[in-house]
Structure 1
Amino acid sequence: MSAPLSFALVFGAQFLGMGAIMPFLPAILAEGGLTAAQVGGVLAAGSLIRLIAAPLGGQIADRAGDSRVVLATAAILAAASAMGFGVAAGLALLLAVQIAHAITMAPVVPLTDALAIGAVRRMGFDYARVRAAGSVSYILGAVLAGWAAEWAGPRAAAWILAASLAATAGLALFLPRTPRIPAASQGSAWAPMREPGFPRILAIAALMQGSHAVYYGFSTLHWQAAGLSSGFIGVLWGLGVVSEVLLFVYGRAFADRLGVRGLALLAAGSGVLRWSVTSVTTEPAILIAVQVLHGITFGATHLATMRALLAISTLQAKAQTLVASAIGATTGGLMWLSGGLYAMMGGGAFLAMALLCAIAFVLALGRNEDRVE
């Protein structure tokens, strides 16, 4: 199996499950008896746990002889914990499931990215086109979960997640092996923070991906309250990734022309627009239009981050997991805050996310002396 195909299959498997669970996890928690504030707290707990679990996974992977085994082990444990969402109810049990799943899931995506970036360095294939397989699967997962939720309730998404992670575990063993980094070169889990440019791209990535907190945590509940069906909401989540796929598959020349800074500025400006509009309307036609911006707010941010790390970091597992931790901590804190914000302001909570994008825009405008261009 070729390296690009093997990575496409692994990305496809894991993002199928993520596309299924992300729109419907808040609804699963609400069905389990949690209030809006408790939903925000449980979601935040998962993100904050990743702050510790993800760097630990990166440290283990960089020290292990074969990162693929670490990835496969994490994925199968994450599949087992995901099944808890299909059966648990009540705050204590759902919080326990969320913590277990956060610990086991934390290394899965960043380790896959780290292995992919290492393979890109050695083999020269297009990371964005391979990663697009994950985006396509995310769309399929969101739509599939929407249909399944109509038939069997939102907990159906948990079983789709578990199956996709089990497939990820098996497929991970077919990935090309990354050469082991000599122990003397590894340093601590925080070693990438000393690399020029890394702290700034870390901050921009955390702000931009964190700005999706209200969307991830409460858009489904917000749109359900407005009378939109679960099937249509699943389509909205899937549709948001279509432009992301187009960017990953066809946007290499565009991304080369913009560079890291240009991609970050585009993402941040689009985020200000997206969340401002989402805060004031639930009109289906407008939501369809504004969801297309997800391909920019998420996709362009992700490409900017990967391009920056490819240029500035050799400790890929540590760097990727630190980025994931920063995003998780920011998203977790914002989800905790957004529970109260959403309970108090409804859709107005999205305006706080627009402010975060404005801050990221200012950071991206700053003078770059550190090769993150």
Structure 2
Amino acid sequence: MVAPDERIGPAQTGALRLRLSLFYAGFFAFLGVQQPFWPVWLASHGLGATEIGVILALSIGIKMFSAPLAAHGADRSGQRRRSILVLVAGSLAAFCLFALTNGFWPILLISVLFYALWPPVMSLTESLTIMAVQRASLDYGRTRLWGSTSFIVVALLSGQVLVWLPPSAILWLSLACVAATAAACLFLPDIRTERSPLHRGLPIVQALRIRALSLSLAACGLIQGSHAVYYAFGTLHWQAKGYSENVIGVLWAEGVLAEIVLFAYGGRVTRHLGSVGLITLAGIAAVVRWLGTGLTDSLAAVVVLQALHAFSFGAAHLGAMACIGETVPASLSATAQSLYSGLVWGAGLGLMLLASGWLYHGLGGSAYLAMAAVALAGTFVALRLSALTPRLPQP
């Protein structure tokens, strides 16, 4: 156990990085199976396109409510690891129930249970990681990159395996990843904080009163939300351009690899640019990326634009994590992470995904131009944050 305000010595830093990296590898391995292939499993159990859309939207939207509730309990107690273990055990039990169900309504009910428990595991562990950055001078990017690496490796391997196996195998691959994540959680550090003071009100209200945090969440919500057309229709857009499946696969992989490279140098970049500089850079990169993607037919240009994923996604994420570490007291760190999860990845991306279908249906590839406008709005919010906030000291 690491008591509140206790520093972690250099001798422990390597082991700490390994324990956290194992968690990220397990959690993102699950996403490497789920994101590409879970709709296939749902379809094999009789769900139509609309029903699958409801399930996928639910998986994003429910975290807006479950993550803050879980964070409230963690900040009140000051014990993140205990909350994580309860949530991941519940997630594992809930996911096992998918093996016993068929049809839309039973799957919907189990999805509500699972996605209420699973996303808060990430936000609470992120708060542990940020505390480790502060107390042990841990490099966040080099720890988090194992998640991105795991995602791309598992997605590619799963695609190869599922060529030979039936859709039912998707469930068992996913379950194995949930179990691996649960096992990794047993080794997470027990870094504790002071309990969030009752007299100051609800933790979520206390966190939102931090102006720099609120503005950074708004900026990141717009910048990350501007990826909606890419996430939902990137493959269809490239198919319409005549790109082969192999080329499309390489383009997707390129974006993740670029993200991994940035994370590898994340500590150095964060010290140089600061949190506000990273978020501003992300907004500018997103504007350039979506303008170019919407206007060009050149494969060479698309290859260059895909490398900007390192900044449009990666820099925004690093900037948000740095801002939370710089501006939020440890007693509210879980709540701040839950707000990032719920507002940026729940409300921001979720709403933009809903809008992306209408935009792509009406505009085709020009929908990317609308995403550039969204990213530009996020950039202006980041500049507003820069004007209000002097460059914060880096750990």
Q: TM-score range by the shorter chain?
A: 0.7 to 0.9
Give the aligned residue type for 1:322.
Answer: L
SS of equivalent residue, structure 1 residue 174: coil
Tell me the residue number matched to 2:83.
70
TM-superposed CA distance for 1:285, in Å, is 5.1
Tell me the residue number matched to 1:332.
350
The aligned length equals 372
Give the aligned residue type for 2:33.
Answer: A
Matched, 1:184 2:194: no
1:227-242 aligned within 5 A: 233-242=248-257
Q: Residue by residue, what CA displacement relative to the aligned partner does 1:48-87 show, whole Å, maximum 9, x if unpaired?
A: 2111011011112223463223223323443455567789
Maintained 8 Å contact 2:266/2:318: no
Instruction: Give the whole-Å Cα distance in 2 for the aligned partners of 1:27 and 1:214.
Output: 21
Instruction: Give the whole-Å Cα distance in 1 for the aligned partners of 2:104 and 2:348.
Output: 23
TM-superposed CA distance for 1:233, in Å, is 4.6
TM-score (norm 1): 0.87
Larger displacement relative to structure 2 (17-26 or 240-249): 17-26
Matched, 1:265 2:280: yes
SS of equivalent residue, structure 2 residue 194: coil
Runs of 5+ unmatched residues, structure 1 = none
Matched, 1:142 2:160: no
Matched, 1:352 2:365: no
Instruction: Give the whole-Å Cα distance in 1 for the aligned partners of 2:65 and 2:382.
Output: 27
TM-superposed CA distance for 1:180, in Å, is 3.6
SS of equivalent residue, structure 1 residue 107: helix
Specify whether residues 345 and 45 from structure 1 end up closer, same or farther in structure 2 by C-alpha distance, changes over 3 A only: farther
Maintained 8 Å contact 1:71/1:111: yes
TM-score (norm 2): 0.82
TM-superposed CA distance for 1:287, in Å, is 4.2
Q: Residue by residue, what CA displacement relative to the aligned partner does 1:234-265 show, whole Å, maximum 9, x if unpaired?
A: 54333211111111112433332222222112
Give the aligned residue type for 1:176.
Answer: P
Aligned with 1:49 (options 62, 66, 70): 62
Tell me the residue number matched to 2:48.
34
Aligned with 1:343 (options 339, 350, 361): 361
TM-superposed CA distance for 1:352, in Å, is 2.6
Aligned with 2:32 (options 19, 29, 44): 19
TM-superposed CA distance for 1:294, in Å, is 1.6
Give the aligned residue type for 2:195.
Answer: P
Maintained 8 Å contact 1:139/1:239: no
Q: Residue by residue, what CA displacement relative to the aligned partner does 1:13-58 show, whole Å, maximum 9, x if unpaired?
A: 11122133223445555665533x6555443332221110110111
Instruction: Give the whole-Å Cα distance in 1 for the aligned partners of 2:292 and 2:100.
Output: 36
Maintained 8 Å contact 1:40/1:339: no
Instruction: Give the whole-Å Cα distance in 2 for the aligned partners of 1:272 and 1:243.
Output: 17
Identity %: 36
Give the aligned residue type for 1:20.
Answer: V
Larger displacement relative to structure 2 (247-256 or 108-117): 247-256
TM-superposed CA distance for 1:371, in Å, is 4.6
TM-superposed CA distance for 1:228, in Å, is 5.9
Maintained 8 Å contact 2:57/2:350: yes
Runs of 5+ unmatched residues, structure 2 = 1-13
Maintained 8 Å contact 1:59/1:318: yes
Give the aligned residue type for 1:291.
Answer: Q
SS of equivalent residue, structure 2 residue 189: coil
Tell me the residue number matched to 2:4.
none
Tell me the residue number matched to 1:323.
340
Tell me the residue number matched to 1:369.
388
Maintained 8 Å contact 2:223/2:379: no
Instruction: Give the whole-Å Cα distance in 2 for the aligned partners of 1:86 and 1:340.
Output: 34
Tell me the residue number matched to 2:137.
124
SS of equivalent residue, structure 1 residue 181: coil
Aligned with 1:171 (options 151, 175, 184): 184
Maintained 8 Å contact 1:132/1:245: yes
Instruction: Give the whole-Å Cα distance in 1 for the aligned partners of 2:32 and 2:297.
Output: 21
Matched, 1:297 2:312: yes
Aligned with 1:247 (options 250, 259, 262): 262
Give the aligned residue type for 2:276.
Answer: R
1:73-92 aligned within 5 A: 73-82=86-95, 92=105
Maintained 8 Å contact 2:142/2:266: no
Instruction: Give the whole-Å Cα distance in 1 for the aligned partners of 2:310 and 2:167.
Output: 25
TM-superposed CA distance for 1:213, in Å, is 2.2
Instruction: Give the whole-Å Cα distance in 2 for the aligned partners of 1:372 and 1:156.
Output: 50
Larger displacement relative to structure 2 (257-266 or 338-347): 338-347
Aligned with 1:276 (options 281, 291, 300): 291
Tell me the residue number matched to 2:214.
199
Larger displacement relative to structure 2 (80-89 or 179-188): 80-89
Instruction: Give the whole-Å Cα distance in 1 for the aligned partners of 2:226 and 2:150.
Output: 23
Maintained 8 Å contact 2:77/2:196: no
Tell me the residue number matched to 2:16.
3
Give the aligned residue type for 2:116.
Answer: I
Instruction: Give the whole-Å Cα distance in 2 for the aligned partners of 1:19 and 1:133.
Output: 13
Specify whether residues 332 and 84 from structure 1 end up closer, same or farther in structure 2 by C-alpha distance, changes over 3 A only: farther
